[in-house]
A and B are shown apart, each in its own frame.
Chain A
Amino acid sequence: MSQATIEVSGLRKRFGPATALDGMTFTVRPGRVTGFVGPNGAGKSTTMRVIVGLDAPDTGSALIGGRPYRSLRRPLTRVGSLLDAAAVQPSRSARNHLLWLARSQGLAAGRVDEVIGRVGLERAARRRAGGFSLGMRQRLGIAAALLGDPPVLLLDEPFNGMDPEGIVWMRGLLRALADEGRAVLVSSHLMSELEGTADHVVIVGRGKVIADTGVADLIARVSAGRVAVRTTDLPRATAVLVDAGAAVAATGPDTLAVSGVPAERVVALLGANAVPFSEVAAQRATLEEAYFGLTRDAVEYRGEPAGEGTR
């Protein structure tokens, strides 16, 4: 078992009458970014708190490299986590926040300056953390997670409050961390944030895993056989393709979505029937579309019939 593997198995936890985790099971492997995606309330944050030993599950286990978090010596050198960027003492400087964390792990103060450099907080390091924007606090939280150079990283909603430049930086950082061989688990309630970053996604809803799959596979599955056609003659194009056995839907004044027929066959059919077209493309679904396709049945907060609001 790699030190850089997180194994979550069968986690169940209730908060009073509400079920937070309902058999959550997945594995995070090293060398890739794993997206941890689901709507608010799906159990992402609770799962991450259980992994780092803050919350105790009713049943089930979460192991880091085969060991429970609470048994780790110098845990920040094994797992770096950012669970809540607001968790700083407002009157303490960013550097001193990192310094006490370093002291707790027996790390030298020089390491603090290294991580401050890596997250680009050099100029703000001696300022009160209470005056930081959410984006700066996210960088400070990332610095804390990187402090012990851990093989495993757990980041809960790290894109929150980041400006576009920060989002680009964060994506690059996550990729780089994974390429260094680390296991990186990144939660988000917006699948689009992980587009182009995550190699693998664990999609959760209502306290359990809905899908645990590679991003490439997922997109391919959802995109399978979809072709976009741009034409000036929608009725004829539609008639020709339907005759050939395809399912066709208009998606705009001059665009069609076609499925059931591969792109080459669409080109051949349209050409043979002299239907004018300016574009035929095999369509690739976005990660977000894939996500909605999967979670349609599992969204926690849908409108509920009146009368069920109170328990």
Chain B
Amino acid sequence: MTAPTTTRQPRVRARRAGFGALLRAEWTKFRTVRGWTIGMIVAVLVTAGIALLDHSSCGGVTAPGGADVPGTGCSAPVGPDGKAVTDAFSFVHRRLDGDGDITVRMASLIGGRGPAGLQPWSKAGLIVKAGTRPGSAYAALIVTAGHGVRMQYDYTGDIKAPPGAVTAAAAPRWLRLVRSGDAITGYQSADGVRWSAAGTVRLHGLPPTVQAGMFATSPASAQGGSTQDGSTQDGSAQGGSAQSLGGSGGSGARTLATARFDHIGLRGAWPPGAWTGTQVGGRPSPDTGFRQAAGTVTVTGSGDIAPYVPAVDGGGVAVERTLLGAFGGLIAVIVVAALFMTAEHRRGLLRVTFTAVPGRGRVLAAKAIVIGSVTFVAGLAGSTAAVLLGERLLRSNGDFVLPAGTFTEIRAVAGTAALLAVAAVLALAVGTILRHGAGAVTAVVTVMVVPYFFASPLSVLPAGVADWLLRVTPAAAFAVQQTTPRYPQVSAPYTPGNGYFPLPPWAGFAVLCGYTVLALGLATVLLRRRDA
């Protein structure tokens, strides 16, 4: 049949209508429902606002040793990479004006008085350090009580030496530390004749003049059996008992380590002079220090040279504490994102959408991109404000905010925004599957907000359960907020209750992404299969 319309030209000129047009359509849909815009603003305000309500101090206890920084109950030196460190030990040192080496025989390493003897990470040995200021760069050849011989440097660096000739921890051993420019190399020997390398590290920017010599120190005892497996629930992440940074830590008893050195030999650019004893970090104590007699140096120290771990080192507020409000923002985001889809189901509007755009998978993709992008921007605004305002408020309250390093802070802030964005897409997908707003919101809150809140901020679950929940549920993504890593060289209760997530930041985030991809896949299949 030939109709007059066969050659009829549409009077309406249309631009190319591809995926971009679809994105514009979904964006128009989003911005023209006032409730959704308000919901996103609420998400921003809640994310930023809860941080402002939360200003717990670091315990309010000004411990005797914590008076390093006037006016604060707790503080910590900052290491070369901008992160808080623990730097407290007894140092017997001399100036070294360039290249040189020191060789000693370490005759013994024993514990101090009291019930708590040597700890696995009690340590003594040779150290080259940029100065005696706590937090300055260093490299050390270390004999530990329980973890063998190691090269450690700049607080986080830790290399286990190859097994040497000396196997018994208590047996005398020879140590040598060689400084050559930026390179520091450690050697060990059982007899002072046959040497094996323990490791070489480079300290970039190490000044020509350094302090070098012998040291000893010993961390607080791991009270209550709390170790890396996280079997305790002491909730001291916020430093319930701020104590001396120079001495014992927050969660255990102060311990001492005493090392005896003899056969001390120096080569290289050592100016004439005598050994000086310095208590680096913290305050001098009658039971620490050094004695020198007949070619023998005996050093007794307490503390640690390690990354700062609030759970053992006392107070301090981790940066992510200011991001606590994200869980509230997350709830608002989940509601808006779920409704972005289920409102269409409820009104039959989805049929109008599908007559305009028959490609159902494309519709879901466009919706996911729009809600994800909007949420990312809102989340970025909220979490940036939370960290900036929260840190300022904490500091003005006299709290000690743990320096995390710029990149780590950016990762926590951007990661929080990404977490909210992906959670929004998850809620959208679950809403598509369930076709019911309240059901979708309940489902996503149950699998994401509830496990996080009970496992971490509330900390009411046994550590094992909390750990498990934060591995297998989408709540694992909150790991992106963590700015305080767990360090194998520091024994601490690394539990969710103390702010430690079982998975690394991006691995936790990947768990959420995995669930979201699965939900999107199922939602796409159902959308295509079901009659609209």
Contacts and interface: CB of A to CB of B under 8 A. Distances in A.
Contact of B32 (A54, A93, A105): A93
A3 B15 CA distance: 20
A273 B25 CA distance: 77
Contacts of B5: 2-4, 30-31, 151, 181-183
B291 interface: no
Contacts of B33: 89, 91-92
A74 interface: yes
Contacts of A150: 10
Most buried by B among A30, A73, A81, A106: A106
Interface string B21-36: 1101111110011110
A56 B28 contact: no
Main secondary structure, interface of A, reads loop
B6 interface: yes
A90 interface: yes
A148 B25 contact: no
A124 B348 CA distance: 22
B516 to A, nearest CB: 25
Contacts of B25: 100-101, 103-104
Nearest to A152: B5
Interface stretch (B65-73, B207-215, B349-357, B426-434): B349-357
A76 B355 CA distance: 7
Contact of A81 (B21, B32, B355): B355
Nearest to B24: A103
B463 to A, nearest CB: 46
A211 interface: no
A250 interface: no
Interface residues of A, number: 56
A183 B8 CA distance: 12
Interface string A11-37: 000000000000000000111000000
Among the interface residues B17, B27, B34, B352, which one has the most CB atoms of the partner chain A within 10 A?
B352
Interface string A136-153: 000000001001111100
Contacts of B14: 74, 77, 105-107, 148
A72 interface: yes
A108 B12 CA distance: 9
B12 A107 contact: yes
A111 to B, nearest CB: 6
A260 interface: no
Contact of B12 (A77, A86, A100): A77
B27 to A, nearest CB: 8
Contacts of B12: 77, 107, 111, 147-149
Given A2-B3, A49-B351, A182-B5, A55 B24 contact: no
B17 A106 contact: yes
A99 interface: yes
Given A104-B21, A106-B16, A53 B354 contact: yes
A74 to B, nearest CB: 5
B347 interface: yes
A183 B1 CA distance: 13
A149 B9 CA distance: 10
A84 interface: yes
A99 B28 contact: yes
A81 to B, nearest CB: 6
A86 B347 contact: yes
B11 interface: yes
A197 interface: no
B28 A31 contact: no
Contacts of A84: 348, 351-352
A55 B532 contact: yes
Contacts of A144: 352
Contacts of A77: 10, 12, 14
Nearest to A27: B1
Nearest to A114: B12
Interface string B356-373: 111100000000000000
A88 B18 CA distance: 24
Nearest to A150: B10
B17 A105 contact: yes
A89 B343 contact: yes
B286 interface: no
For A31, A70, A74, the residue with the greatest tally of chain B CB atoms inside 10 Å of its CB is: A74
Contact of B35 (A70, A91, A108, A147): A91
Interface in B120-143: none
Contacts of A151: 5, 8, 10
Contacts of A29: 1, 3
Contacts of A54: 351, 354-355, 531-532
A69 interface: yes
A83 B355 contact: yes
Given A91-B35, A151-B8, A96 B28 contact: yes
A168 interface: no
A87 B531 contact: no
B4 interface: yes
Contacts of A71: 358
Contacts of B352: 83-84, 87, 101, 144
A166 interface: no
B6 A2 contact: yes
Interface in A271-299: none
Given A54-B355, A75-B358, 4 more contacts: A31-B5, A100-B29, A148-B10, A149-B10
Interface of B: 1-6, 8, 10-18, 21-22, 24-29, 32-35, 343-344, 347-349, 351-359, 531-532
5 contacts: A70-B358, A74-B14, A87-B349, A107-B12, A182-B5
User: Which 6 pairs, one residue from A and one from B, show the smallest C-beta to C-beta distance?
Assistant: A106-B17, A104-B25, A96-B32, A181-B5, A87-B348, A100-B28
